[in-house]
């Protein structure tokens, strides 16, 4: 009986630590592995429920999660033409929303998220890194994303 318990325990640990499933993103054609217990929200392995909680905890851009994951999202995820409604739960409340814009002859808005804040030895040199998500208001899809540096 002790041997069966030991194997059951080892099997359980193996199952919980190595439980990856293969996913196929039909849009990009990429296969990737994800933790079985981490549910993808949309279109990219980085946009998951687990990462959403970390993203929201770093709302001021101080603990480094957003600084680490935003370039991965920007470079490896294809967010263009994705419905904003599918992604807004991941990103949460933006720092600000710039409304009533025209981008590529489309009525649009920009959601601005703080990625990182840092100071270069004085308040005059205070810098901030932000992530812009531009959304077409007519069909509520993402037009473009970009990482920008701004003062103050």
Measured between its terminal Cα atoms, the distance across the chain in Å is 66
Backbone dihedral angles phi then psi of residue 110, each to the nearest 5 degrees: -125, 125
22/109 Cα distance (integer angstroms): 35
56/65 Cα distance (integer angstroms): 10
127/116 Cα distance (integer angstroms): 9
pLDDT of residue 124: 55
- Ramachandran bin of 21, using left for φ above 0, alpha for ψ from -120 to 50, beta for the remaining angles: beta
Question: Which positions ≥6 away from 40 have C-beta within 8 Å?
Answer: 23, 34, 47, 48, 49
Tens digits of residue pLDDT in 122-142: 555 567 889 999 999 999 999
Question: pTM of the predicted model, to two decimals?
Answer: 0.69
19/28 Cα distance (integer angstroms): 24
| CA dihedral of 79, 91, 88, 25, whole degrees rounded to 10 | 40
Tens digits of residue pLDDT in 91-125: 999 999 999 898 888 899 999 998 887 655 655 55
């Amino acid at each position: 009986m002790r041997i069966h318990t030991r194997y059951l325990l080892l099997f359980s640990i193996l199952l919980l630590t190595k439980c990856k499933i293969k996913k196929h993103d039909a849009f990009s054609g990429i296969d990737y592995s994800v933790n079985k217990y981490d549910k993808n929200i949309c279109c990219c392995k980085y946009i998951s429920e687990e990462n959403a909680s970390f993203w929201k905890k770093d709302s001021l851009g101080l603990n480094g999660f957003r600084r680490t994951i935003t370039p991965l999202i920007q470079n490896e995820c294809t967010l263009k033409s994705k419905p904003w409604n599918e992604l807004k739960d991941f990103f949460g409340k933006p720092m600000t929303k710039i409304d009533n814009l025209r981008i590529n002859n489309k009525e649009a808005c920009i959601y601005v998220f703080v990625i990182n804040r840092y100071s270069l030895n004085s308040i005059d040199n205070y810098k901030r890194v932000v992530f812009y998500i531009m959304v077409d208001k007519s069909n509520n899809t993402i037009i473009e994303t970009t990482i920008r540096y701004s003062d103050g």
